Structure 1
Amino acid sequence: MSGTLRNPTIRSGRSFDLGKMNLRQLWIAYLTYPTILLYFALIVVSVFLGAHFFAGWGATAASILAVMLVYPVVWYSLHRWILHGQWLYKSRWTASLWKRIHFDHHQDPHLLDVLFGAPATTLPTIGAVTIPVGWLIGGWGAAATAFGAGVTITCIYEFFHCIQHLNYKPKAAWIQRMKAWHVLHHFHDEDGNFGITSYVVDRAFGSFYEEARARPRSPSVFNLGYNLEQAKRYPWVMKLTGSPPRDRPDGGRPAARPASRDAA
Structure 2
Amino acid sequence: MSGTLNNSSLKTGRSFDLGKMNLRQLWVAYLTYPTILLYFALVIASAALAAYFFAGWWPTLVSLVAVVIVYPLVWYLLHRYVLHGRILYKMKWTAALWKRIHFDHHQDPHLLDVLFGAPATTLPTIGAVTIPIGYLIGGIGAAATAFGTGVAITCIYEFFHCIQHLNYKPRASWIQRMKARHVLHHFHDEDGNFGITSFVVDRIFGSYYLDAKARPRSPTVFNLGYDVKEAQQYPWVMDLTGAPPRDRPDGARPAENRKAA
**Alignment TM-score, normalising by the size of structure 2:** 0.92
State the 1:252 CA deviation: 7.6
Instruction: Tell me how large the CA RMSD over aligned residues is.
Output: 1.2
Three-state SS of the structure 2 residue aligned to 1:216 is coil
Correspondence for 2:64:
64
Correspondence for 2:45:
45
Three-state SS of the structure 1 residue aligned to 2:70 is helix
Q: Which amino acid aligns with 2:29?
A: A
Residues 127-163 of structure 1 show CA distances to partners (whole Å, capped at 9, x for unaligned) of 0000000000000000000000000000000000000
| Structure 1 CA distance for aligned equivalents of residues 175 and 125 of structure 2 | 27
Structure 1 segments, 4+ long, off by >6 Å, are: none
Three-state SS of the structure 2 residue aligned to 1:15 is coil
**Alignment TM-score, normalising by the size of structure 1:** 0.91
Correspondence for 1:28:
28
- Are 2:231 and 1:231 equivalent residues in the alignment? yes
Correspondence for 1:204:
204
- Are 2:132 and 1:124 equivalent residues in the alignment? no
Correspondence for 2:4:
none
Matched pairs, number: 243
Correspondence for 1:176:
176
Structure 2 portions without partners, runs of 5+:
1-8, 254-261
State the 1:108 CA deviation: 0.2
State the 1:15 CA deviation: 1.5
Q: Which amino acid aligns with 1:105?
A: H
- Are 2:133 and 1:98 equivalent residues in the alignment? no
| Structure 2 CA distance for aligned equivalents of residues 169 and 144 of structure 1 | 37
Correspondence for 1:163:
163
Greater fraction of residues in helix:
2
| Structure 2 CA distance for aligned equivalents of residues 46 and 186 of structure 1 | 34
- Are 2:259 and 1:245 equivalent residues in the alignment? no
Correspondence for 1:152:
152
Structure 1 portions without partners, runs of 5+:
1-10, 254-264
Q: Which amino acid aligns with 2:168?
A: Y
State the 1:248 CA deviation: 0.6
